[in-house]
Amino acid sequence: MNGVRERLASRTFTSVAVVIAVLWTTPTLGLLLSSFRPEEEIKTTGWWTLFGTPHLTLDNYGEVLSGGGNGSGRLAEYFVNSVVITVPSVLFPLVLALLAAYALAWIDFRGRDALVVGIFALQAVPLQMALVPLLKLFSQGWLFLPAWHLTGPARFGQVWFAHTAFALPFAVFLLHNFLAGLPRDLIEAARVDGASHGTLLLRIVLPLARPALVGFAVIQFVWVWNDLLVALTLSGGTAETAPVTVRLASMAGTYGNEWQRLTAGAFVAALVPLLVLFSLRRHFARGLLAGSVKG
């Protein structure tokens, strides 16, 4: 009887999961199909009419990537900016958080527990609240930092700084939980053999922490790549420094009715995060569970 109930429960949960997956992906499917439809059909009929009268075109993608005849797209020019912004914005917090997490997990010092709690509490600070003080720091100088009057590609430094600062609390918290769960006997045995903290970090902790590092790297990559607020506020919004998301926001047109650009541009912009996610999906799945199971 228990076996029958378990099978029924399993089938029920599977059916519910399939229904949720279908409902979740249907809008995405509609967006994908709309990206291949002519402009006049997108603006007059629903995407589901494609199955009855299929009219497909690649003009939307041509307009988005190269600008077509009116120069309204040229999204390809902004991909380099997105890469230049995203890669350092992932590496900087990853390295700093690994060092901090190791210190908090395996180095005894006064106030360590309070510092961990404080870092965890910083995750509750909304990003929007920090933008105004951050702009003041860059424009007028603050404490020991001089004013950063940066223009052109030099403005990338401001975006890197902001993304690194916003990502550190979560990164340190995630990696600390994982590193604190490593076998203490392994760390103590290495210390007895004379291993320094640098040796422990590079030869023992770093290989074991790879799932957690990859998990955070994927989350941070997708977050920064899809970010609009920080990029629009700190990058200046020019073609020299603006990422793909800023260009997408301006592609809707003056009256917000250029839907054919947005449907195609959305999938072009999502291509890189999807490739990263699928290529690292196994490590990412393990990273999501990092530190949740011990022993």
CA dist 157 and 253 (Å) reads: 30
Report pLDDT for 94. Answer: 93
Within 13 Å of residue 1, how many CA atoms lie on the same side as its CB?
A: 0
What is the mean predicted confidence (pLDDT) over 103-119?
85
Least confidently predicted of 135-144, 236-245, 247-256: 135-144
Report pLDDT for 88. Answer: 93
SS (H, E, C) 182-230: CCHHHHHHHHHCCCCHHHHHHHHHHHHCHHHHHHHHHHHHHHHHCCCHH
Residues 45-64: pLDDT tens digits? 888 888 877 888 888 888 78
Q: Kindly report the pTM of this predicted structure.
A: 0.79
Exposure b/e, 163-176, CB count within 10 A at least 16 = b: bbbbbbbbbbbbbb
- 75-291 belongs to which CATH class? mainly alpha
Residues 195-207: pLDDT tens digits? 788 888 888 888 8
What does the domain layout of the chain look like in residue ranges?
Answer: 1-56, 75-291
Q: How many beta carbons lie within 10 A of that of residue 291, not counting itself?
A: 19
Closest to 207 in 3D by CA, of 188, 182, 190, 185: 182
CA dist 262 and 260 (Å) reads: 6
Q: How far is CA 50 from CA 30, 58, 67, 76, 257, in A?
A: 10, 15, 25, 28, 20
Report pLDDT for 179. Answer: 86
Mean of all residue pLDDT scores within the chain: 79
CA dist 251 and 239 (Å) reads: 13
Report pLDDT for 41. Answer: 83
* Residue 91: band (very low, low, confident or very high) from pLDDT cuts 50, 70, 90: very high
